Amino acid sequence: MSTLQIDQVSKLFRASAGGGLTPALRGVSFDIGQGEVVTLIGESGSGKTTLGKIILRLTAASSGKVMFEGDDISVFSGKRLREYYRHVQGVFQDPFSSYNPIYRADRVFELIRGVYFPHTGQRAWDAKIESALLAVALNPGDVLGKYPHQLSGGQQQRLLIARALLLDVKLLVADEIISMLDASTRVDILNLLIGLKRSGLAILFVTHDLSLGHYVSDRTIILRRGAIVEMGDTIKVFSHPQHPYTRDLLAAVPELHKKWQPAAGGAAIPPDDVDVLTAAAPARAGHGQAPGPAGTDRPPQPMAMLEPPPLVEYEKDHFVAAAES
Amino acid sequence: MSLKVENLSVAYRMRAGDCCPVDGVTFTVADGEIMGLAGESGCGKSTLGNSLIFMEGRMKLLGGRVVLDRQELPIADFRAMQPLRMTKVSLVPQYAMNALSPTRRISKLTTDLLRSHGVREDSVLEEMKRRLRLIGLGPDVLSKYSFELSGGMRQRVTIILSTLLNPSLLIADEVTSALDVSTQRAVGEMLMEFRDRGFVKSVIAITHDLSILAQIADTITVMYAGRLAEKADAGTVVKAPLHPYTQMLLASLPEVGLRHDQTTLTGIPGRPPSLVSPPSGCRFAGRCPFARAQCAQAPPFEEVAPGHRVACWKVSRGWPEGGRV
């Protein structure tokens, strides 16, 4: 049985008072197994963070179900919800904002102690913290007793992962956890995640960075405007991407040793907001995307677009959505 | 020689003493050159960029001079710089896309900006529309408020605004960060286009992202803890870097196509030194696997091959490969 199953999850936001509903997620389904890293890749506004929040019960889905070890998480409350958080934890983009700057950083450990470990003695608790810190390659002496501003971004992020490890965590939702870290420390956090995965942790790695996703994950899901456009085995998705959007994304990734391929008429993918021009210039047609109303980058008719494009199996463990018209 | 920076040192006045994020920096930027300035957070790259145009009150010029088109820039004199800003030197500061006033339409904002520089807007407005068209935005952008534009559109509008009076030098600070890959590409290509068309003579593109620089920059300068570590043409820095810091930084970057089960990347252990009391010798020595006794003296920023400057004893003295001695 999968650790987490996402079943036809949709989320609608009301864009403005009296305004229409904007779909942030449209019928998203996939699952994550034990010891598996699933990367969720999407540009801003694709709904990737919303999905992470739904899994962490920070917001509710408008329709669809999220099942944790076979149980629908939307009905959890009280003790059962606390139990859920013992197994499912999140780490987010800006580590500094996860700490209260006027307290020492290791207070994040004490905060979960009261709820989850009321009967653990001091000595056992200290040993537990020490082993969690060692698991994230932190030297306890370097970080315990320090204030958040005295720690580097990488140390702060590790400390938060260590906090998740104190619990009996089975699924970690890692939302852009390295985009604020320096290049020279980023990869260490990635390697840490890989180590945790090998010990059986399921990880949902949310990112906009395709190369990081490729490095770390077993399976990849490409989200666009709230719907899955392509998903499957990471190597398959990256080595023969089928959806035009995936190909465009890959073509725009800046690489060290390969220049962007020159594309006819400027940028290979006009960013969504240049749709205005696309409509007038037939040369750029055939992108499989509907031009939005002039001057906005919002999809044209939210409700009409709620139905996600159906996924077709291109090969084993590699699914592609039909192009949206 | 468009820009010549000689021995520039800039400090911040702090209670703990002077913090010196730009320490004896010397380089030149040729006409038509896009110089990428790369480094990790806190290395001084933004301070260097800002000091060329906008010395805030807490910044202090410790020494050195800056010559642009054979004219010395009075960088320490805040008021004397005013007539040169936007006409000779322009800056797109970090997060500039969030700096557009939400209560003024883009056209009003442009008018205000031009008038504060003594320029009548009607002489430039047609040109602004032409440039907007050039990058795929319609003239309707002018009648919009900034919050009606997407992040990528705002970023491109700020670049158009800051280059409207055809400055000789544009300092672009992290203009591609926090953008989606497709928008990143559009902004990067826009910088090259503006240089090609002579809207700006030369550009200093400040970023932490070496792979973007590999796409758009002619030369790359790597900065570490307040000093320049290496400068060479972009291809050389990416393919055959000489400074150990550049080498290790590049080795820590995952590229599309790389997976953890084939190659395990490693970060750079340790942290950069404090800039309040930096070590007297090579700033990277504490993290460098090649460091020897001589590294207790600061290495000069020397030309080791035509157009290739490096500040490292190992390179300039030709030490053989090997570990710490």
Of B148, B149, B259, which has the smallest distance from its Cβ to A215's Cβ? B259
Which pLDDT does position B147 carry in this prediction?
A: 87
Q: What is the mean pLDDT of residues A188-196?
A: 91
Q: What confidence score (pLDDT) does residue A264 get?
A: 44
* B49 or A305: which leads in pLDDT: B49
Q: Which of A185, A256, A277 sits opposite B214 (nearest CB)?
A: A256
What mean pLDDT, rounded, does chain B reach?
Answer: 91
Give how far B115 is from chain A: nearest CA, Å. 28
Nearest C-alpha of chain A: how many angstroms from B73? 33
Percent of chain A, pLDDT > 70? 84
pLDDT in the model for residue A275: 36
Closest CA in chain B for residue A194: B260
Residue A295 pLDDT > 60: no
Which has more confidence, B199 or A151?
B199
Contact status of B210 with chain A (Cβ, < 8 Å): yes
Inform me whether the pLDDT recorded for A299 exceeds 70. Answer: no
pLDDT tens-digit map of B224-256: 999 999 999 999 999 999 999 999 999 988 887
Judged by CB atoms closer than 8 Å, whether chains meet at A270 and B255 is answered as no
B240 neighbourhood in chain A, CB within 8 Å: none
Is any Cβ of chain B less than 8 angstroms from the Cβ of A212? yes
Whether A254 and B141 lie within 8 Å, measured CB to CB: no
Chain A residues with CB inside 8 Å of B259's CB?
Answer: 214-215, 234-235
A302-311, B44-53, B159-168: least confident range: A302-311
A255: contact with B, CB 8 A cutoff: yes
Res A300 pLDDT > 50: no
Q: Is the dihedral of CA A79, A81, A87, A92 positive or negative?
A: negative
**B185 close contact with A: CB closer than 8 A:** yes
Q: Average of pLDDT values for B80-93?
A: 93
Beta strand spans in chain B (E): 3-14, 17-29, 34-38, 59-68, 71-72, 89-92, 169-173, 202-207, 219-224, 227-233, 302-305, 308-310
Query: A interface mutation test: which of B255, B265, B268 has the most A CBs within 10 A?
Result: B255
- Give CA B160 to chain center in angstroms: 18
In this complex, the residue of A248, A256, A271 whose CB is nearest that of residue B253 is A256
Query: How confident is the prediction for chain A on average, in pLDDT?
Result: 84
pLDDT over 90 (residue A174): yes
**How many whole angstroms separate alpha carbon B103 and alpha carbon B109?**
9
CB contacts of B224 in chain A (<8 Å) are none
Cross-chain residue pair A252–B184, CB shorter than 8 Å: yes
Alpha carbons B116 and B110: distance in angstroms, whole number: 10
Cα A197 to the center of its chain, rounded Å: 16
Band the pLDDT of A169: cuts 50, 70, 90. very high
Scanning A50-69 for CB atoms below 8 A from B yields none
d(CA B60, CA A62): 55
Instruction: Give A18's pLDDT tier (boundaries 50, 70, 90).
Output: low
A228, A61 contact by CB (below 8 A)? no
Per-residue pLDDT of A210-241, as tens digits, reads 888 999 999 999 999 899 999 999 999 999 99
CB–CB contact A44 B249 (8 Å)? no
In this structure, how many other beta carbons lie within 10 angstroms of the beta carbon of residue A280?
A: 12
Of B152, B214, B250, the CB nearest to A273: B152
- What's the rounded mean pLDDT across residues B181-191? 90
pLDDT of residue A17: 67
Q: What is the mean pLDDT of residues B288-299?
A: 93
All residues of chain B having their beta carbon less than 8 Å from the beta carbon of residue A186 are 252, 267
Sign of CA dihedral A105, A111, A117, A123: positive
- pLDDT tens sequence across A59-85: 999 999 999 999 999 999 999 999 999
How far are the Cα atoms of B8, B243, B277, B305 from residue B316, in angstroms, in the given order? 23, 10, 26, 10
Do B191 and B215 contact (CB within 8 A), yes or no? Answer: no
Residues 6+ apart with CB under 8 A from B238: A256, A257, B210, B214, B220, B250
- Residues in B closer than 8 angstroms to A255, CB to CB, are 211, 214, 255-256
- For residue A260, the chain B residues in CB contact (below 8 A) are 185, 189, 215
Q: Is the Cβ pair B252, A186 closer than 8 Å?
A: yes
* pLDDT, mean of residues A198-204: 94
A200–B contact, CB cutoff 8 A: no
Average pLDDT of the segment spanning A50-67: 94
Answer yes or no: do B40 and A182 touch at CB < 8 A.
Answer: yes
Q: Which ipTM score applies to this complex?
A: 0.80
pLDDT score of A172:
96
**What is the structure's pLDDT at A278?**
29
For residue B214, the chain A residue with the least C-alpha distance is A256
pLDDT for the residue A233: 96
Closest CA to B183 of B206, B227, B153, B148: B153
Interchain contact A8–B (C-beta under 8 A): no
Any idea which of A42-51, A220-229, A300-309, B280-289 has the lowest mean pLDDT? A300-309
For A89-129, write each residue's pLDDT tens digit.
999 888 888 999 999 999 999 999 988 999 999 999 999 99
- Within 8 A of B144 by CB-CB distance, chain A residues are 295
Task: Check CB contact of B59 with chain A, cutoff 8 Å.
Answer: no
Put simply, the chain B residues between 20 and 39 with a CB less than 8 A from any chain A CB are none
Q: Do A152 and B271 touch (CB under 8 A)?
A: yes
Alpha helices in A150-209 (DSSP H): 153-166, 183-198
Q: What pLDDT is stored for residue A142 in this prediction?
A: 86
A276 at interface of B, judged by CB pairs closer than 8 A? yes
Task: Report the pLDDT value the prediction gives residue B215, as an integer from 0 to 100.
Answer: 94
Mean pLDDT in residue range B268-279:
86
Across the interface, do B215 and A260 touch by the CB < 8 Å criterion? Answer: yes
Q: B44 in contact with A at a CB cutoff of 8 Å?
A: no
Average pLDDT over residues B12-19: 83
Average pLDDT over residues A303-311: 73
A–B: how many Cβ contacts below 8 A? 152
pLDDT band at A279; cut points 50, 70, 90:
very low
